[in-house]
Amino acid sequence: MFSKKLQDAINEQINKELYSAYLYLGMSAYFEANNLPGMAKWMRVQFGEEQEHALKFYDFIVDRGGSVELKAIDQPEAELKSPLVVWETTLEHEKKVTGLIHKLYEVALAEKDYAAQVMLQWFISEQVEEEKNATQIVGTLKMTGEKGQALVMLDHQLGRRGGD
């Protein structure tokens, strides 16, 4: 049985995933405006991934015969100050999302919803990858700095993510 408590929690997570997509689209715009097309592309790919995550939750609710409830998406922060700040914000955001996924898993455990627990395992593993990627980029920027050839090389490397 798909509980109302778990359904509500998953509906809330759909909103958080769509907010994440919106946040990354804003970051992409920041990088575009600052002549960092590779980082902009990386964030656009991330935007798409977050939409896919929202749809995984959406489909799970539908597949279980539940009711999807879409809520307003908060406006992301518009004041982005530097590439390093953007990537640090990305890392902190992903850590927050990891916490949200863990809380959702705790609800699935309490509700004894084994199907939800299995589905959420994918998200738990995904968050390890998300945090790893952001941590590596922050580390590289801290090591090389935010100007000059190293920034251009990192931008080029990040632009190779995903297909065209």
The number of CA neighbours under 13 Å toward the Cβ of 30 is: 22
Q: What is the pLDDT of residues 120-138, one digit of tens each?
A: 999 999 999 999 999 999 9
State the fold for domain 4-70+81-158: Ferritin (1.20.1260)
Q: What is the dihedral of CA 17, 21, 23, 29, to 10 degrees?
A: 180
Non-local (6+) Cβ contacts of 152 within 8 A are none
Scan for tokens 């916490």, then name that residue. 99
C-alpha separations of 103 from 47, 129, 142 in Å: 23, 18, 31
Task: With H, G, I as helix, E, B as strand and everything else as coil, classify residue 63.
Answer: helix
Residues in the chain: 164
pLDDT at 163: 55
Per-residue tokens: 103: 């809380």
User: With 90 as the cut, is the pLDDT of residue 111 above it?
Assistant: yes
Does residue 147 register a pLDDT over 90? no
Domain extent listing, the chain: 4-70+81-158
pLDDT digits (tens, 9 = 90+) for 32-69: 999 999 999 999 999 999 999 999 999 999 999 999 99
